[in-house]
Every structure is written in structure tokens, then in C-alpha cells.
Structure 1
Amino acid sequence: MTERLPDAGWTSREDLADLVTALDPTGEGNCRWVGGVVRDTILGITPKDIDMATTLLPEQTMERLTAARIKSVPTGIAHGTVTAVVAGGPVEITTLRRDVSTDGRHATVAFSTQWQDDAARRDFTINALYADPRTLEVFDYTGGVADLAARRVAFIGDAHARIREDYLRILRYFRFQARFGSLPADTAAESAVAELAPGLKGLSRERVGWELMGLLALPDPAVSVRRMAELGVLREVLPEVLPEGIETLDALIAHERALGLKGEAVRRLAALLPADPAVAETVAARLRLSIAQRKRLICAARRGGISGDPRVLAYRIGLEEARDRLLLAGLPTASLDGWAIPVLPLKGGQIVARGVSAGPQVAAILRMVEDRWVSEAFPGDARTGELLDEVLGHTSGTAG
């Protein structure tokens, strides 16, 4: 029985039909949907990206797009990738390829006209699926459809060989296992990732960081993270993680789920790490996290000692940062929902207008009023004015 993609919103998009017509006007079958868009559609998941594979050379792809007045961008033309800019979003179109040589980080490829060549160089069977854009017939050269049905993440061919082509596939394995897989996991895959895990040290920090954060952002990465630790993979990329960090991550994810909250990768990374800002700083630098992610991770590492109104904490350190600390401590966060951090309704100029000389004393009075304003749960203008009167009365009495 021929496998076909189920009906999905994207399969009937007019802009995609125009794209197919531009590339394959005579129906010779020189282009197919490929990878995640096919996999996700089979599973009933709305795909994030739409990718296409083609037998056309990149220059031919661009020529045909230009002739059809479809904007094209040579985003990776040396590797065969051209991006078509259509109404529904960009579509990456890549010429079929076969690997010539690999060094564990990058592959040297040659263009091909054989779909099997292109499938053989991909990582997992569930990612090597193709679909005819007109008939939606699925082409499966590696057993990916059966593996999807079994929720099995398996390397194409020899797992050791696939990993040696690019060691990042070890981390990709666990990300896909967390998203699509089930237990027991594929034994050949697990054996290979455990044996070849030291090869992760040769990868760029950015690539490792991107994969780790992608894994931690999934709905429930806990089982995969624990398995990474058991197989010796986690220590190669996050040697700072102690056994209790795995337990903290488990508890955090359970707490997020109980509260109906979406998981955050930075918060979950903080759960794995010791509550030590210096460790957080080191990990953030190694994984090349953004400035915002680094600050949030370090802030979460200062967790502990939470008491009183959570809104006070949020006012002091930020809403998301406070939510991180509360969740890591297993506390509720409902008081922060829909709440915006208020602004102190008092400026230094108002204090100067009351006869205080501009300078350090104004800042000190402002801080005193702010502390009392926060302790009283952020009252309005009238009460803030009273607080200023009280502080000024106290300071003038002290000065006298």
C-alpha cells in the first residue's frame, strides 16, 4: 500500500503550489518535500519549517525561481541550499547530496541526482522521508515510516559511522528521543552514543549549546537527560551536573506540569547545575549563551531563602527571574500571573522641590521611600507622598 501524507493545511497552500510549478513545470518529479515537514505531518503535528529537496543544481533552482518571479536567497549555495521567499514563509530548497568525506564536525559533499544517496547521508530514519508535492506520496528509503509508528529513533545504517560523520548527532539523538521516541530505546543507537561520547569535545561550543538548549526546551526532556547521564554523555558537555541535579530537574518539570506552565530551557539548565553563580557563569560562557540567558542563569543560581510576597522578589530581580526562583523552590507562581512590575511614583526632582539639596542625600531618601513603598505592596501616589513626608520628617529630625 502506498503511503501518502494526510491532509494538512500547508499541503494545500497556493504559494507552495506556485513554488512547485516554478521548479517542476512539466511534472518530471525533480523536487520533493523532505525531512521534518514530512515526519511531523505523518504524526499530525503542525510543522515549523518546510524544506524541499531537488535534483536541480542550485543555479538551476535560482534561475527557475527568478523566471517565476519568486524571490530567492543563496543562503547556503555552496552546500546546495537556496531559500525561496514565499507568502507563507521561507522554504529551503537543497540539491540532493552524497557525502564524500567527513571529519566528525563537517562533511564534504557532492551533488547527486539519486534520492537514495541523499537519504543515506541523513542522520535518523525518521528524518529521511520524502513526499511528492503533487500526489503527497511518501518515499521511504530507510524504514522511517515504521520507526515513526514504533516511536523508535534509529540511525540510518551503522550508528557508529553516522556519529563519526558528525558527533553532534549524539546530542541530536537525545533531542529526537525526547520528542519522538519511547522506551526501550534503540540498543544500537545507545551503544554507539555511549562509546563515541568523548568525540563531543571536538565540537564548537555554539553547536553544543544550541542542541542542549533545544533539548531542555522540549515538554519533557527528563528521561533523555537522565539517560545521557547514565550513558556518560552528559559529563562530556556538562561535567558540572551532579546526581542531585537530575533529581532537581525531575522535580522542576513535575512542578511546571502541575501548574500548567511551559518549560524554559534556561530554568531547566539552572536546575541541573549546582546553586553556585560562579558555576553558572562558567557554563554560560562555555555554551555561548546570550547575554540575557547568562544573566538569567546566574540569577537562578542564587536561589534559596525565598520568603514573603513573590511580587517583592519580582520587583527586585525581574518577573521571569522571580518565576524561575519560585519554580526551582517548588513554590506557586500564581501571584505573578498578569502582574506588571510597578514604577515608583516618585522622582528625585520631587525630593529636591521639598528643599533637599541635589546630591547623594536625594538618592538615599529615594531608596528609603522605595523600601517602605515595596514593603507596603506598592501603594499609589497618595500613600507614596505620605511615605516621603515620613522619611523627610525622620531625616530632618535626625539631622537636627
Structure 2
Amino acid sequence: MILQGQEWLDAAATRRVMAALEAAGGPDCARFVGGCVRNALIGQPVDDVDIATTLTPGQTDQAIRAAGLKAVPTGLAHGTVTAIADHRPFEITTLRRDVSTDGRNATVAFTDDWAEDAGRRDFRLNALYADAKGRILDPTGEGVADALAGRIVFVGDPGTRIREDYLRILRFFRFFAWYGRGEPDAAGLAACAALAPGMGRLSAERVSKELIKLLAAPDPGPAMAAMDAAGVLGRILPEGALSPAFAGIVRLSDDPVLRLMILTPADATVTAEVSRRLRLPNHTRDRLAAAAVAGDEVDLSMTGPQVRAAVYRHGGRAVADALLRRCAERPDEASAAHRLRETAERWEPPRLPVGGRDLARLGVPPGPETGRLLKAFEAGWIADDFPEEGHAARLEALVRDGRG
């Protein structure tokens, strides 16, 4: 089988990188590997082009530089050099075999055996190679069939592959979400369930990154249901639950952060604990926290002024996120939620139109009274839906009433 009509395969940058490697190691020293081959085969977009080679990392580096290209030693301990051609990166990794693994990290040795390299990969559809002309090589004998049929099957024994790196449990469900069809592979699913306790060895950052990738799939529902049934979801999100609202949020949004939000209770304390344990990026942590706090005063019966008041206090994104959660929980009120979300997303909160100087001109000295009067003004201004005029008269009345 030959890949045809692939822009990335025929691009001048790709040809330059492959020519540089072949000049150093011969015509069979380098092959495309993994995702680019898999996605090209099944008609999916190709974002990254990875290359496997029999050259050592040092030889790869020299070959790339000799061709006038930039070489970046991005992972020499694991055999990876990144070539830059026409501003496009190509990860080039020497063929490897595992010397030892602890379920989290592996010590590798370099090899020139393509079958040995394929044997240490996770799934058969990822153990696909293609030469410079696009001819596919399938060392496991099942990778092409798996890719075309939507089967996510471990290379060799599933338990062995998982014990090499327990993150492969999450990868099993992530690849099923993106590329799987039908039911998950029974042997792989059973191994994931049996070995799920080993995920405790993984760093939180690796787990959360894999979870977010899974949730970004067009429809992660079947994969999440399989994860839940296997006891894997409960290990990474013990506070969470897979409710009907998850299917609702999947229909409403492809945002993985919103999908993560719907898996956990709308409780700021719980959200903070999830973010801490998974070591979520700060922007994700803050977004989840803001939506949880805003959720206390957000519902689908809100009026426009109430939405604007909530946006003023919590920010437009937090209110829109909380509204989307309510909509996922009550899909029969989607039209009302849509109007409210439009207000939350488009309305720009004004700045408080008065300050301490305005009170000073009215004879109020700086101090606690200034703060009290400003808070009282702000509360009335919000309650009246942020009027643009009449601020001086309102402030004067507050000062007068305070003195009376």
C-alpha cells in the first residue's frame, strides 16, 4: 500500500530532511512513523511528521547540519533530534529497544532492527512506517487493518505494554475516542481495568495532559463510558461522575475544559482540589474556579440585568461557562440559555463611574466612610442595570442620607 496525495509527504521540506538522512545512512535508514502514517492512511489531518532512523542521534545531528538544516537536540537521551526545514519541525528518533522500565520511565538502547522498534510501541496502528515514497510497512502485520477498522489494539501482550508505562491506560481510551469504532478491544480493556492501580506512579501533569487530549475528541462519550466502567475514571477523578449532562456538554461544545468541568461538582472547594491534584495549568485552574463561583448565582431563568450583574462580578467567560453547564443539565431550555450566553459573552462591563475623589469634593474625608459609600453606590448602580447618567445626584443623595 502506498500513500498518495499527501502534501506533507511531497513537500520540499520533507524531501530535504529525508535526503539528508539517506545521504548519511543509505536509502533504507529513515522512515516516517506513527501518527503521520496512521492519519494519512485513514484520511485524517496530519499535524506532526515524525521520522524513525537507524542512524544514531549523533549521526542524525551531523547529517541534518551537513545538509544545511537546523538540528535541535530535543531529546538525545531517548534518541531524538528535531530537524527544522522551511520553518517546519521534524522529530527524528533513533530506533530503540527498552532495557528497563518502571511503569513511568524507560531506559532505552538504540538498535537498527525495525521489528524491535515496532515491538516497543503502544498500539498496532501506531507501529506503522512509510518510506520516502510513501510505501507503508507494517511490522506487526495488523496495523493497517486496525487503522482502517478503528481498532485500538496493543502491540503484543496488553499487560506487558501497560507495565512499561502506565500512561498507556489513558492512551488506550484517548486513541479509542479519536480513532476507535464499535466496542473497545476486550483484552486491552481488561488489562487497563486490572492494572489501573499502577496509574498512581504517574506524574499528575502527564495524566492531566492525556485527559485533556481525550476530552478534545469529537465525541469522547463512548471512551469515557468505557473508562468509567473499567474503574479508570474514578482513579483520576474520584470526585467526578459521568452523568447525562456529559453527553449534553459534548453536543454543545468541543471545549475540553468545559467537558472536564461537567465531570466534577459545581463546587469551588472540590474544583480547587481537582486542579491541585491534577496540577492543571493555571489558566485552566482559574477558569474552572471562576465558573464554579459564578455558578452559585447563575440559572436559566435569569433576566438580562441579572446576567449583566453576574458578569460584572465574575467575568463574562465564567458566567458563560456556568450557563453552558446549566444548559447541559437542562437541554430542554437550550434556547433561553443561548440568549443569556450571548449577553454574557458580548457585554463589556463598565468601570465604576465614581471614586474617592468625587466623595472628597462632597466633603467626605478619606477613610472607612469612603469605602462604605462607594460600595453602596455600586450596589445601587448594579441593581439599576448600570445607568450611564445621574451618578453625581445618586452620590450626593448617599452622602446626604449618611449625614442625616
Report if TM-score (shorter chain) is over 0.5.
Answer: yes
2:23 is paired with a residue of what secondary structure?
coil
Q: Is the 2:23–2:63 Cα contact (8 Å) retained in structure 1? A: no
- Residue pairs, 1:87-106, within 5 angstroms: 87-106=86-105
Determine which of 326, 336, 351 is the counterpart of 1:343.
351
Measured in 2, the distance between the counterparts of 1:108 and 1:358 equals 66
RMSD: 2.1
Bigger shift: residues 216-225 or 48-57: 216-225
Deviation by residue 1:163-184 (Cα, 9 ceiling, x = unmatched): 1111110001001111110122
Unaligned runs of 5+ in 2: 328-336
Q: Is the 1:99–1:121 Cα contact (8 Å) retained in structure 2? A: yes
1:81 positional shift: 0.5
Q: Is the 2:297–2:310 Cα contact (8 Å) retained in structure 1? A: no
Counterpart position of 1:282: 273
In structure 2, relative to structure 1, the CA distance for the partners of 1:11 and 1:296 (3 Å cut) is: same
1:325 aligns with 2:322: yes
2:73 is paired with a residue of what secondary structure?
strand
In structure 2, relative to structure 1, the CA distance for the partners of 1:291 and 1:337 (3 Å cut) is: closer
Measured in 2, the distance between the counterparts of 1:92 and 1:233 equals 31
Q: Is the 1:81–1:93 Cα contact (8 Å) retained in structure 2? A: yes
Measured in 2, the distance between the counterparts of 1:187 and 1:318 equals 46
Measured in 2, the distance between the counterparts of 1:17 and 1:347 equals 65
1:304 positional shift: 4.2
Counterpart position of 2:177: 178
1:288 positional shift: 0.7
Q: Is the 1:281–1:298 Cα contact (8 Å) retained in structure 2? A: yes
1:296 positional shift: 2.1
1:374 aligns with 2:382: yes
Deviation by residue 1:277-305 (Cα, 9 ceiling, x = unmatched): 22222211110112222222233334244
| Greater fraction helix | 2
In structure 2, relative to structure 1, the CA distance for the partners of 1:373 and 1:19 (3 Å cut) is: farther
Measured in 1, the distance between the counterparts of 2:163 and 2:91 equals 26
Measured in 2, the distance between the counterparts of 1:93 and 1:351 equals 67
- Code of the residue aligned with 1:371 in structure 2: it is A
In structure 2, relative to structure 1, the CA distance for the partners of 1:69 and 1:281 (3 Å cut) is: same
Counterpart position of 2:303: 308
Measured in 2, the distance between the counterparts of 1:122 and 1:226 equals 25
- Code of the residue aligned with 1:224 in structure 2: it is A
- Residue pairs, 1:192-231, within 5 angstroms: 192-231=191-230
Counterpart position of 2:283: 292
2:64 is paired with a residue of what secondary structure?
helix
Counterpart position of 1:83: 82
Measured in 2, the distance between the counterparts of 1:210 and 1:344 equals 40
1:346 positional shift: 4.2
Counterpart position of 1:11: 9
1:36 aligns with 2:35: yes
In structure 2, relative to structure 1, the CA distance for the partners of 1:58 and 1:370 (3 Å cut) is: same
In structure 2, relative to structure 1, the CA distance for the partners of 1:116 and 1:348 (3 Å cut) is: farther
Determine which of 241, 258, 262 is the counterpart of 2:254.
262
In structure 2, relative to structure 1, the CA distance for the partners of 1:391 and 1:84 (3 Å cut) is: same
Deviation by residue 1:129-173 (Cα, 9 ceiling, x = unmatched): 11112x111111121111111111111111111111111100010
1:174 is paired with a residue of what secondary structure?
helix
Counterpart position of 2:146: 147
Measured in 2, the distance between the counterparts of 1:271 and 1:65 equals 47
1:394 aligns with 2:385: no
Measured in 1, the distance between the counterparts of 2:35 and 2:387 equals 52
In structure 2, relative to structure 1, the CA distance for the partners of 1:379 and 1:144 (3 Å cut) is: farther
1:94 positional shift: 0.5
Bigger shift: residues 159-168 or 63-72: 63-72
Q: Is the 1:218–1:263 Cα contact (8 Å) retained in structure 2? A: no
1:262 is paired with a residue of what secondary structure?
coil
Measured in 1, the distance between the counterparts of 2:8 and 2:362 equals 65
In structure 2, relative to structure 1, the CA distance for the partners of 1:217 and 1:368 (3 Å cut) is: farther
- Code of the residue aligned with 2:278 in structure 1: it is L
Measured in 1, the distance between the counterparts of 2:27 and 2:361 equals 81
Unaligned runs of 5+ in 1: none
Counterpart position of 2:190: 191
In structure 2, relative to structure 1, the CA distance for the partners of 1:326 and 1:21 (3 Å cut) is: same
Q: Is the 2:317–2:344 Cα contact (8 Å) retained in structure 1? A: no
Measured in 2, the distance between the counterparts of 1:377 and 1:9 equals 55
Deviation by residue 1:324-356 (Cα, 9 ceiling, x = unmatched): 100111132222344444434445444444544
Counterpart position of 1:253: 250
1:87 positional shift: 2.6
What is the TM-score when the length of structure 2 is the normalising length?
0.88
What is the TM-score when the length of structure 1 is the normalising length?
0.89
In structure 2, relative to structure 1, the CA distance for the partners of 1:343 and 1:6 (3 Å cut) is: farther
